[in-house]
Amino acid sequence: MRVYLHSRTWFIYFIMVIAILMSIRHPVLILIGLESGLIWWKILGRKLRAGHVFAALFILGALAVANPLTSSNGATILFYLNGRAFTAEALAYGLLFGAVLVVTLLWCVILSELMTTDRWLNVCGRRFRKTGLVLTMVFRFFPLFTKQWQRIREGQEALEGGSPVGWKETFRMTKRELLCMLTWSLEHGFVTADAMLARGYGAAKRSFFNRENYRSASVGVAILLLAAFSTVITIAVRGGMEAEIYPYVKIHMDAAIDILGFAAFFLLCHIPMISYKVLREERRMRS
Amino acid sequence: MIQVENVSFTYAGAARPSLSDISLHVAPGQFVLLCGPTGCGKSTLLRMLKPELTPAGERSGRVLFNGNEIGANDRLPKIGFVMQNPEQQVVTDRVWHELAFGLENLGVPSDVIRRRCAEIAAYFDLEKSFEKDTNALSGGEKQQLVVAATMIMGCKVLLLDEPTSQLDPIAANRFFLWLEQLRREFGITIIMAEHHLEEIFGEADRVVYMERGRIRAQGTPAQVAWEMLTVRDAFAAALPTVTRLFFDAKTRKTPFVSLREAKGAPDYAQMVDEAKKTLTSASGRDAFVSRENGKRAEDPAVTLSDVVFAYDDRSPSILNNLSFSIPAGACTAIVGGNGSGKTTLLKVIAGLATLKKRDGKVKFFGEKQADRQRISFLMQDVTTLFTEETVYEEIVAGVKEKVEQGGEGFIEAFLKEQGFEALTAHLSQHPYDLSGGEQQMLGLTKLLLRDPQILLLDEPTKGMDAVAKESLAKLITEKTKSGVTVVLVTHDLDFAALCADYAAMLFRGEILSMERADRFFADNVFYTTHKNRALNA
């Protein structure tokens, strides 16, 4: 079955997941976020490399150590460092915070991969059509810019007979490359502006080419997602799914209400995956 | 459809007019070809016909579209305008959005855009690439997309300003064929400025030949060709090969403008014999003249053995166990299709840092280490070399001492020696304000001032007109005579035949054959010069 989801459904999906991850810091939610994030990673055809894992562990480790160094909250003192207490609770808080950061980053990568320009355009919609246009032009310009920089670097290297040696040389060269890029960007901008004028830019009030309709599946999924989201939020506001850190670490996760909250978040994260076939096809058509 | 009446135009701040007293009538459905040397006013004339793009300056005379005078502030989406560089004309990042862009500008409702996009995608065969990123398209595909995105607005007139100057000759031909089909099926009016005349000259209904802002001649292709050939205009070199080859002012009043026409002539076989005789007796470099002075040096300048290269582990290798040597003091042309690895090969020889991770050996004059200062590389996009504000500063940058030693007038003399006098007039301009051909000259000047031993040229004729090409060929020949080794990568086989001593065919990352250039081009059936095509009965 191929399920098409509307861009705005995708948009609220990401907003909701990331908002929950960042506002309700609970280990179980983070684990669910990590698990579903990794499934998305796989669906989107990305490979998990050792570098990614190291980066994640580094963030986690750095925050876990940094927090107790700056905060002495917590009752379980492990040792003293320069007269300051290094507590197990502060360590746990750092770990939790690091985990939230890692999982949020993971979701941001998924968001940037899934929210292609046409999705952003549809999110911006008729009302923000100019913003949409600027966005799509930026998306076009960015890869061009990097490519051109690479070319300039090669051109200068070939002219100078080698890459710059030492930081002074490198600095001088980078300055020159930047100047070169500036002229190129201006020139590029002028020609593009002419091309836009030639195709009637500014001749009338711009219309918006809407390629998407709200299909029933999309609306249904959006309703389910909103229901799951409100469940999680309501439970959290009512004091469920609480992870107390200070003064003692106490993680609530076995009450029926907590389990209901986890289940709702689990559903929230996983429901849009039913559209994986469509996404796969979309990726194939793009390149 | 379009009438130009006594139009003169002077750019704001310029001393001389760029157009003087131009009159031109274009009937609906006509294909008008504007030609002439670089800077003759072709582009300026085209911009007079599209008010949105008319530059600032002083204009006199009238331009009429469908009988109505075009005002300076008019908006005429029915007149399409396509420029040189497809990369810079693509506005958005997806093919479908590029198509819809013009219609959105006109405020066309979504449903109509949807239908028109579908229609045009089906006609232009863009259905498969409809969802693609525009960056994933090749140069030729991008240019076709720009034309399709212009046509979708329902335009009746298409103005094209050197649309193929950034494309390789094969993509350029494909583009012309495609345009011709478009014209036949829709009857749109096309006015095109172009200096690659080989394939399209005979297809035009009318040719307008301009020089220094004036129309020198206009009429049917045969009439204009006759005009140019009889007065022995330097620009006649741009005419199609068949036209020049079989022209005989005494016996034939109407020159041939296409190969088909020439082959259909009753005395074709005789003409071929004649032409071959003249070519053999003529001195100079030619694909048909056997050149016995082809020198094979003792030590090759560059030797590559078993070179393998891939951009990263996941992508396929671009060079596959490539082994060959490049003779010193000669010009070696490397030809081959798109993606065969030609540019990569040059980068490997130049030793660029991004290509350090390769297998195999590269030796220079038998040594492993090369003096990289003396290997000069003219990259495809020559603007990557430009960092200064003026042409003069650009030339001087990096070689200040040499210029100071040379004293007053050194640069002018140097330019003259290389045959680049054209640059002398532009010394105070910005490098980006030069024409494509002049930019190539500027890039070459920079390289030659560094006194290279090995000169690597990647598509050096891009954007050059016929006259500039001839002088570049002469320059290359002179350089090789004075001992410089030239490696030339090009799609322009006629140019390669003019100046190369050896030719090598690169196919899927391997050198398949390397031969003396004359034999190479005489043997090939498809991959050969226009001259050989015309003479192979």
Is residue A132 domain-resident? no
Q: How far apart are CA B331 and CA B276, in angstroms?
A: 25
List pLDDT tens digits, range A173-230.
888 889 889 989 998 999 999 999 999 998 888 898 888 888 888 999 999 999 999 9
List pLDDT tens digits, range A41-100.
999 988 888 999 999 999 999 999 999 988 888 888 888 988 888 999 999 999 999 999
CB contact (8 A) between residue B383 and residue A205: no
User: Which B-chain residues 40-59 have CB contacts (< 8 A) with chain A?
Assistant: 50, 52-53
Mean pLDDT, to the nearest integer, of B493-509?
A: 88
Q: Report the pLDDT value the prediction gives residue B528, as an integer from 0 to 100.
A: 77
Q: Report the pLDDT value the prediction gives residue A21, as an integer from 0 to 100.
A: 95
Q: How far apart are CA B181 and CA B9, in angstroms?
A: 34
Query: pTM for this structure?
Result: 0.85
Q: Which residues of A touch B53 (CB under 8 A)?
A: 194, 197-198
Interface test with A, best of B46, B79, B83, B88 (most A CBs within 10 A): B88
Report the topology of domain B2-219.
Rossmann fold (3.40.50)
CB contact (8 A) between residue A209 and residue B103: yes
Least confident among A79-83, A158-162, B117-121? A158-162
- Residues A38 and A105 occupy one common structural domain: yes
Q: How far apart are CA B442 and CA A62, in angstroms?
A: 53
Cβ atoms of B227 and B220 within 8 Å: the answer is no
Where do the structural domains in chain B lie, given as residue ranges?
2-219, 300-535
Q: How far apart are CA B115 and CA B66, in angstroms?
A: 28
| pLDDT winner (highest mean) among B235-244, B478-487, B514-523 | B478-487
Least confident among A225-239, B96-110, B287-301, B423-437? B287-301
List pLDDT tens digits, range B356-392.
778 888 888 888 777 777 888 998 888 888 888 899 9
For residues B13 and A261, the model is more confident at A261
Q: Which residues of A touch B356 (CB under 8 A)?
A: none
Q: Report the pLDDT value the prediction gives residue A106, as an integer from 0 to 100.
A: 95
Cβ atoms of B213 and B40 within 8 Å: the answer is yes
Task: Give B460 to chain A, closest Cα distance, Å.
Answer: 14
* Structural domain harbouring A250: 7-122+215-286
Interface test with B, best of A199, A201, A207, A278 (most B CBs within 10 A): A199
Q: Do domains B2-219 and B300-535 have the same CATH topology?
A: yes
- Residues A176 and A241 occupy one common structural domain: no
Under the banding of pLDDT at 50, 70 and 90, the label for residue B537 is low
User: Which A-chain residues 203-222 have CB contacts (< 8 A) with chain B?
Assistant: 203-211
**What percentage of chain B reaches a pLDDT higher than 90?**
31
**What percentage of chain A reaches a pLDDT higher than 70?**
100
List pLDDT tens digits, range B184-234.
888 899 999 998 888 889 899 999 999 989 999 999 999 999 888 888 777
- Answer whether A75 touches B (CB < 8 Å): no
- Residues A235 and A96 occupy one common structural domain: yes
Q: Report the pLDDT value the prediction gives residue B289, as an integer from 0 to 100.
A: 35
Angle (CA) B241 B242 B245, round 5°: 80
List pLDDT tens digits, range B276-333.
777 664 434 443 333 344 444 457 888 888 888 888 777 788 888 888 888 888 899 9
Q: Which residues of A touch B374 (CB under 8 A)?
A: 161
Cβ atoms of B271 and B265 within 8 Å: the answer is yes
List pLDDT tens digits, range B146-185.
999 999 998 899 999 999 888 877 788 889 988 988 888 8
Q: Report the pLDDT value the prediction gives residue B298, as an integer from 0 to 100.
A: 54
A-B C-beta contacts closer than 8 Å:
169
Mean pLDDT, to the nearest integer, of B450-455?
A: 90
Of B94, B109, B352, the CB nearest to A207: B109
Q: Report the pLDDT value the prediction gives residue B249, as an integer from 0 to 100.
A: 67
Q: Please report, in angstroms and rounded to a whole number, the separation of the first and last CA atoms in chain A.
A: 24
Q: How far apart are CA A208 and CA B157, in angstroms?
A: 26
Q: Report the pLDDT value the prediction gives residue B295, as an integer from 0 to 100.
A: 46
Boundary (domain end) residue, out of A198, A231, A263: A198
CATH of B300-535, one of 3.30.420.40, 3.65.10.10, 3.40.50.300, 3.40.50.720: 3.40.50.300
User: Which A-chain residues 96-125 have CB contacts (< 8 A) with chain B?
Assistant: 117-118, 121
Cβ atoms of B40 and B210 within 8 Å: the answer is yes
Residue B100 pLDDT greater than 90, yes or no: yes
Q: How far apart are CA B372 and CA B350, in angstroms?
A: 8
Is residue A135 domain-resident? no
Of A157, A183, A209, the CB nearest to B352: A157
Residue A6 pLDDT greater than 90, yes or no: yes
Q: What is the ipTM of this complex?
A: 0.85
- Residues A111 and A224 occupy one common structural domain: yes
Could you give the number of structural domains in chain A? 2
Under the banding of pLDDT at 50, 70 and 90, the label for residue B236 is confident
